């Protein structure tokens, strides 16, 4: 997947003009509006705080600060289209979006100086690298007598404010959700302003096309089949979900062959929707007690819990939260990892998911769990390897949710699946894709198999394979490991880890 050259800028190199006077008819000092993962105009607290003042909206592409957590290939595709949509919306309201590439601690203070802004408004971010970058930006602004003001924009509640009775962060999902619900319903979302006031002489910026966010070879050609990035696309997706699928969410959410999930995750990651907008729309669609809409609202709170973990445990993306898992006997194997990445494991439900991921930059949540379990348990590949692949290929790749989910499956998270829970990918496929609608779509070489053998083609008689035009080992692989063998290896590895704990004691 496409990479991108990093660049930085020094204050003297930035082509920013000297401070300008506020437009006639306004008397407030200009402000800098720094868009990050809140690429929307409605229910944007940072925007609403300065909507009546001259503003300069800016997005800074700062890959150097993000390091290995710079957006992956699929995220870059989404970011390109989301920024294009945001720029058009801001242009229509009268305040064009400025695009600048470079180190934020240099770019943001220089821009604030150029327009005479005393403060910079932005939605708070929670990733460790972003927190460190905000610290540097705040210090640079303070040195010039300016302020970085961060507001809650991408979560329902600040992680630092949801604490247990003993004043400690939560490590288990259920008590965390009870604490959040006890805080009451979120406030109603705020609509977008009707117009904005631009600064009189905005500095020149860069072209979105020059950033090269789109892939050089069009592996993302099918993405538009599934996605419409941008605030309008997000609103349409939410409206479609609450008008129908949310009512049957509990029954349909685990069926990958139907459109039963919300598919709001990439819109939430990039902030084209706020979680408050989602929560309130669902509550209106499913009125009554919170419990009535809980099947879906609980998923919103899983996202909140993931950010809670990331805020309090910044090692979450790279190190196991349960320290003993640092000694887990992984068995890295490049060939096995590649078979999994390419959807060639021999387990149809897993391969369908991995191919859906490559085709649309997204995978159904139930299938994500099955595919992840196969990788870390049957194949004993480090969970970080799976998380890295998802980071590069998911349009909704989110450091908090991705990391917490992989640690949950691996058993190394603070609130993780029990070690003995090893999904049987064959039974999972038969249970959640019984008619094979999902597998036949994404693994078309198996389409001719009858339902009985679709999820276990290695058991099909030769005559059935021949009628389906299928030769195992040529058209479709046999399983890279038998389920019983893989489960035995996984349980043995966990037993070895327990033995190490006993020896240490």
In order along its 505 residues, the chain shows pLDDT tens digits of 333 333 333 333 343 433 334 444 444 899 999 999 999 999 999 999 999 999 999 999 999 999 999 999 999 999 999 999 999 999 999 999 999 999 999 999 999 999 999 999 999 999 999 999 999 999 999 999 999 999 999 999 999 999 999 999 999 999 999 999 999 999 999 999 999 999 998 999 999 999 999 998 778 999 999 999 999 999 999 999 999 999 999 999 999 999 999 999 999 999 999 999 999 999 999 988 888 899 999 999 999 999 999 999 999 999 999 999 999 999 999 999 999 999 999 999 999 999 999 999 999 999 999 999 999 999 999 999 999 999 999 999 999 999 999 999 999 998 877 777 899 999 999 999 999 999 999 999 999 999 999 999 999 999 999 999 999 999 999 999 999 999 999 999 998 887 765 444 3
352, 345 Cβ separation under 8 angstroms: no
pLDDT at 290: 86
Active site (annotated) includes residue 391: no
In DSSP terms, which residues pair with 98 in a beta bridge?
58
Task: Respond yes or no: is residue 462 known to be catalytic.
Answer: no
Sign of CA dihedral 326, 331, 336, 338: positive
CA distance 108 to 105: 6
Contact assessment for residue 41 and residue 231, using Cβ atoms and an 8 Å cutoff? yes
pLDDT at 500: 63
CATH of domain 323-504: 1.10.579.10
Active site residue 383: yes
Q: Is 44 a catalytic residue?
A: no
Output the pLDDT for position 288: 86
At 294 the pLDDT is: 94
Identical fold for domains 155-192+228-314 and 323-504, yes or no, is: no
The pTM of this model reads 0.92
Among candidate residues 119, 294, 299, 445, the one labeled active-site is 299
Q: How many CB atoms lie within 10 A of CB 458?
A: 16
Fold held by 155-192+228-314: 1.25.40
Q: Which two tokens stand for residue 430?
A: 């038969």
Nearest to 398 by CA among 224, 278, 275: 275
Say if residues 45 and 274 touch (Cβ distance below 8 Å).
no
Domain boundaries, the chain: 11-153, 155-192+228-314, 323-504
Query: What's the CATH number for 11-153?
Result: 3.40.50.620
Collapsed DSSP state (helix, strand, coil) of residue 415: coil
DSSP assignment of 178-231 equals HHHHHT-PPPPP-PPPS--EE-SSPPP---TGGG--S-SS-TTTTHHHH---SH
| pLDDT confidence of residue 10 | 32
Which residue of the set 211, 219, 365, 458 is catalytic? 365
Active-site annotation holds for 358:
no
From 69, 211, 294, 330, active-site residue:
330
Q: Is 35 helix (H, G, I), strand (E, B) or coil?
A: strand
Cα 314 from Cα 293, distance rounded (Å): 31
Rounded distance between C-alpha atoms, residue 370 and residue 408, angstroms: 12
User: Is 458 among the residues known to form the active site?
Assistant: no
Burial of 167 (C-beta count, 10 Å sphere; 0-12/13-18/19+): exposed
The token pair at 359 is 């085709």
What whole-number distance in Å separates Cα of residue 38 and Cα of residue 79?
11
């Amino acid at each position: 997947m496409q990479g991108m050259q990093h660049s930085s800028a020094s204050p003297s190199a930035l082509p920013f003009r000297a401070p300008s006077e506020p437009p006639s008819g306004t008397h407030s000092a200009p402000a800098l509006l720094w868009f990050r993962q809140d690429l929307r105009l409605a229910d944007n607290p940072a925007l609403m705080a300065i909507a009546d003042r001259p503003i300069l909206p800016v997005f800074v592409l700062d890959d150097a600060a993000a390091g290995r957590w710079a957006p992956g290939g699929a995220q870059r595709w989404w970011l390109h289209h989301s920024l294009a949509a945001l720029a058009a919306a801001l242009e229509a309201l009268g305040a064009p979006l400025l695009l600048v590439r470079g180190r934020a601690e240099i770019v943001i203070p220089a821009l604030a100086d150029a327009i005479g802004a005393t403060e910079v408004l932005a939605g708070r971010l929670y990733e460790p690298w972003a927190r460190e970058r905000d610290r540097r930006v705040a210090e640079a602004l303070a040195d010039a007598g300016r302020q970085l003001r961060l507001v809650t924009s991408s979560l329902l509640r600040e992680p630092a404010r949801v604490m247990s009775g003993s004043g400690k962060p939560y490590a288990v999902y259920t008590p965390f959700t009870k604490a959040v619900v006890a805080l009451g319903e979120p406030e109603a979302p705020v609509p977008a302003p009707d117009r904005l006031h631009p600064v009189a002489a905005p500095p020149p910026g860069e072209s979105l096309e020059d950033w090269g966010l789109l892939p050089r070879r069009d592996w993302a050609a099918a993405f538009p089949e599934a996605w419409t990035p941008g605030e309008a696309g997000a609103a349409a997706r939410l409206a479609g979900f609450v008008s129908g699928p949310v009512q049957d969410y509990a029954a349909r959410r685990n069926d990958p062959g139907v459109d039963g999930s919300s598919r709001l995750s990439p819109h939430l990651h990039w902030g084209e929707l706020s979680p408050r907008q989602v929560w309130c729309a669902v509550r209106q669609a499913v009125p009554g007690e919170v419990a009535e809409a809980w099947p879906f609202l609980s998923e919103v709170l899983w996202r909140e819990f993931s950010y809670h973990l990331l805020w309090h445990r910044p090692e979450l993306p790279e190190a196991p939260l349960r320290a003993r898992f640092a000694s887990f006997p992984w068995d890295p194997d490049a060939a096995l990892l590649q078979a999994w990445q390419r959807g060639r494991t021999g387990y149809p439900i897993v391969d369908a998911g991995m191919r859906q991921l490559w085709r649309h930059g997204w995978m159904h949540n139930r299938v994500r769990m099955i595919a992840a379990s196969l990788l870390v348990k049957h194949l004993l590949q480090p969970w970080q390897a799976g998380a890295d692949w998802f980071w590069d290929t998911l349009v909704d790749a989110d450091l908090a949710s991705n990391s917490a989910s992989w640690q949950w499956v691996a058993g190394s998270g603070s609130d993780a699946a029990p070690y003995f829970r090893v999904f049987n990918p064959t039974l999972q496929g038969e249970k959640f894709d019984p008619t094979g609608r999902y597998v036949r779509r994404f693994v078309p070489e198996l389409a001719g198999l009858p339902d009985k053998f679709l999820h276990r083609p290695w058991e099909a008689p030769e005559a059935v394979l021949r009628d389906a035009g299928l030769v195992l080992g040529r058209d479709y692989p046999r399983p890279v490991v038998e389920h019983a063998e893989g489960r035995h290896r996984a349980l043995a590895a966990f037993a070895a880890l327990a033995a190490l704990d006993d020896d240490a004691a």
